[in-house]
Structure 1
């Protein structure tokens, strides 16, 4: 997954090309008084180091890892037993992430020596189209992330509507629409550049250079296209992802709290069963389904969080350059170019990192991976999982049995105490009744005596 990042790529591309085409005049330029400006050596060293380590070493490495991981994801997510509306989105996301990684690697060749020689004419001929595919893949990945986040929100918060709305056929249609719109937005990119031959007097060689075309140099076009890209692929997606991801996190928290409340009667029933017999109990199917849905939601939340972390620096840079005129003759211009390399690498990590999240957070993904690519390990892993589950069941049963025994002994003590108090209470009642009878008899005898005395006097 990448960001609307193609925009940052285009920006740094333009800076790099201006640097190469103008004999380093982008770095060693002139100020308004005609004096030569040279950025500090520290900034120039930072730019050269970022180019070497990121573009020549880390980008190829992450491209290989990400291509393998995304290929595995595509194979797994398109298996019949794995098909669902969410997995269709994740498979499409893996496709466009892989395209982004491949063409980012292709674009990184421009930092190699002698890349401007005439023998690399076809590289520069295809270069604008590589930028277009890189931008289109980036933009598509953004809106696929937004789409499956909204879909997951509907499925979690409105399950009845989700069964109607969140279907596989609708997911495929939405993926196609996102692809058409996002790639259609990048169609003008190849027309923004021109390839020319230029003679360098210093080296006495004819080299190739890529310069902005009349369309790419048009100030109105650049302003409108830039702000459309920032709004459509930075502001709106980040806002939607932040809002709906917050709702999903809240729903997972409420679901867990509700599940804990609902499982308390089940734990009490299990305790009673353990005290009366040695039979085992299993979790209700509804509870298992709820846990599975919660795991899927957590996995998607992790994907979105990784996206936001890796794309936030790019978004901040684009917003900063929107309100500040960057002069390449200053230290800030060189610094932004160096940071652009680092931020592009973060986007490459984002494109390659989803495979790791799937492996860590999805049991079903891991099982399908073992069945598809490591069938020889399937039996061993299943035995280990079975032993682990049996150990957990035994541990849970033992703890529940101990708790139930403690509860039973406490209950027995309570019953004994209550019985004693009940006997005492009954004795007190009987004694009080006897005393009342004696008092009444005494009163009656006194009354009889008084009557007899009155009769005698009369």
Structure 2
């Protein structure tokens, strides 16, 4: 529903922002489908029990997660440039740039995670059919696999977290300074402090940015800490009763929640989005009532 509503372009957003938000919604939907639904509905002897299907599923899961993260980072960078870098804004904050950035991220994510497909080998072979997935032995000790694990961890989620935090701090600082300057200027010109419609509109327009990136920072912080802890301590395995296992399950829940709540954020922060969503929900009932007359 979010993809359809945003693609129609009736939410009062620029084409560049719309591109980023549609890409984020698609990536989040992929996470909900492949990282959550497919995993929980993976029954024994199902189609996903074939080794090739299992490999493909794991590959799509990691690519979906990375795209969800980096599309959010790209959206934050675009809004940072629009608010803080006025000279760069006319050339960067465009629909064409958004398309190029999103396409480049998609291609890089797919290429970078191709080794993920070859991480697994079949558990057993029955009638020349490969069944199950298990990690290849060299994944733990091979220098190539160790290097790949570090690159994968740094690209997501370790690197995006400080980037998002830094950009949001700089954006908040810029907004506060600009708001203070405008209030002082209007106070001198009018002899009293009055509300500034331009600043009010600007504050309203960045609510979406802070809502999305803020929730991302809060929900992605635990998994970032876990990645750093596991990388430093070099823990390679754990059991179901281990506290680290429970911590990782909770952090994964929070990370996936980061993808699931973006639609709620759209609805809560964008009046036109809520209106379009109401119209879409009413449309089938209106058609039924029309046909029944």
TM class by smaller structure = 0.7 to 0.9
Match of 2:247 in 1: 339
Gapped regions of structure 2 (runs ≥ 5): 286-293
Q: Distance in 2 between matches of 1:314 and 1:294?
A: 30
Q: 1:360 aligns with which of 238, 256, 268?
A: 268
Q: 2:49 aligns with which of 123, 132, 141?
A: 123
**Counterpart secondary structure, 2:114:** coil
* Cα displacement (A) at 1:262: 5.8
Match of 1:171 in 2: 98
Q: Is the CA contact (8 Å cut-off) linking 1:146 and 1:241 kept in structure 2?
A: yes
Normalising by structure 2, what TM-score? Answer: 0.82
Pairing 1:264-275 to 2, within 5 Å after superposition: none
Pairing 1:196-211 to 2, within 5 Å after superposition: 196-197=123-124, 209-211=132-134
Gapped regions of structure 1 (runs ≥ 5): 1-71, 200-206, 271-282, 378-458
Q: Distance in 2 between matches of 1:258 and 1:365?
A: 32
Normalising by structure 1, what TM-score? Answer: 0.54
**Counterpart secondary structure, 1:81:** coil
Q: Distance in 2 between matches of 1:213 and 1:192?
A: 6
Match of 1:106 in 2: 38
**2:215 is aligned with 1:306:** yes
Q: Deviations over 1:388-446 (max 9, x none)?
A: xxxxxxxxxxxxxxxxxxxxxxxxxxxxxxxxxxxxxxxxxxxxxxxxxxxxxxxxxxx
Q: Is the CA contact (8 Å cut-off) linking 1:121 and 1:208 kept in structure 2?
A: no
Pairing 1:364-379 to 2, within 5 Å after superposition: 364-374=272-282
Pairing 1:203-282 to 2, within 5 Å after superposition: 209-213=132-136, 216=139, 219-261=142-184
**Counterpart secondary structure, 2:123:** strand
* Cα displacement (A) at 1:306: 0.7
Q: Deviations over 1:329-350 (max 9, x none)?
A: 778x722222222221112211
Pairing 1:77-116 to 2, within 5 Å after superposition: 77-82=6-11, 83-104=14-35, 105-110=37-42, 115=44
Q: Is the CA contact (8 Å cut-off) linking 1:73 and 1:94 kept in structure 2?
A: yes
Q: Deviations over 1:242-290 (max 9, x none)?
A: 11110112223334444545666779799xxxxxxxxxxxx9xxx5554
Change over 3 Å in CA distance of 1:363–1:121 after alignment to 2 = closer
**Counterpart secondary structure, 1:80:** coil
| Greater RCO, CA 8 A, separation 6+ | 1
Pairing 1:7-22 to 2, within 5 Å after superposition: none
Q: Is the CA contact (8 Å cut-off) linking 2:76 and 2:164 kept in structure 1?
A: yes
Q: Is the CA contact (8 Å cut-off) linking 2:55 and 2:133 kept in structure 1?
A: no
**Counterpart secondary structure, 2:121:** strand
Number of aligned residues: 277
Q: Distance in 2 between matches of 1:308 and 1:209?
A: 35
Q: Distance in 2 between matches of 1:150 and 1:215?
A: 38
Q: 2:109 aligns with which of 182, 200, 203?
A: 182
Q: Distance in 1 between matches of 2:238 and 2:100?
A: 48
Q: Distance in 1 between matches of 2:258 and 2:135?
A: 30
* Cα displacement (A) at 1:298: 2.4
Q: Distance in 2 between matches of 1:81 and 1:325?
A: 50
Change over 3 Å in CA distance of 1:312–1:305 after alignment to 2 = same
Q: Is the CA contact (8 Å cut-off) linking 1:296 and 1:362 kept in structure 2?
A: no
Q: Deviations over 1:285-307 (max 9, x none)?
A: xx555433332222112211111
Q: Distance in 1 between matches of 2:276 and 2:34?
A: 29
Aligned-CA RMSD value? 3.2
Q: Distance in 2 between matches of 1:164 and 1:329?
A: 50
